[in-house]
Amino acid sequence: MGNWYVVDNFGNTIAGPFFDKQSAEMFVNGNDMYHVVYKD
């Protein structure tokens, strides 16, 4: 079972793990520097 993470444009993990994508997207909150990714 994987988790969702927030990474920046350089691939550094900023936040996580999140158990659901919505929580990760709330953290990003439209910030262009951050992206939500899924990792197994």
Total number of domains in the chain: 1
pTM score, two decimals? Answer: 0.89
Q: Which domain holds residue 8?
A: 3-39
List Cβ neighbours of 7 (8 Å cut-off, separation of 6 or more).
13, 14, 34, 35, 37
Closest CA to 37 of 13, 14, 2, 4: 4
- Which pLDDT band holds residue 35 (cuts at 50, 70, 90)? very high
The tens digit of pLDDT for each residue in 8-23 reads 999 999 999 999 999 9
